């Protein structure tokens, strides 16, 4: 698990906001914590994520491929996980 911090000013440009959106779309995000600092007009987002490779869910491992998560070769259960919902 890794952590990435984003600080976005309320008057920031759409490009700055898009940087965070691109990051969120491109990684397996576990949590997003946010905090607003009223004195500075600044949102802080702490994103915990998994980058690439296999994701272990219980005894099963899954490999991320774009928006589809496929079973890893090591996982004999042949389970499939799409958009965070595993079956």
By CB neighbour count within 10 A (0-12 exposed, 13-18 middle, 19+ buried), where does 44 fall?
middle
On whether the CB atoms of residues 20 and 8 are closer than 8 A, the answer is yes
Strand order from edge to edge, sheet including 81-82 = 54-57, 60-65, 68-71, 81-82, 85-86
What pLDDT sits at residue 32? 94
Q: Which two tokens stand for residue 73?
A: 């070769």
pLDDT in tens, 26-77: 888 899 999 999 999 999 999 998 876 455 555 555 555 444 445 544 444 4
Predicted model pTM: 0.58
Domain boundaries, the chain: 1-51, 52-82
């Amino acid at each position: 698990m890794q952590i990435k911090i984003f600080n976005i000013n309320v008057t920031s440009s759409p490009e700055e906001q898009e940087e965070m959106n691109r990051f969120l779309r491109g990684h397996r995000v576990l949590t997003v914590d946010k905090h607003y600092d009223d004195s500075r007009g600044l949102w802080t987002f702490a994103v915990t994520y998994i980058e690439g490779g296999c994701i272990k869910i219980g005894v099963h491992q899954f490999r991320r491929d774009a928006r589809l998560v496929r079973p890893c070769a090591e996982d004999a259960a042949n389970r499939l996980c799409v958009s965070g919902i595993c079956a």
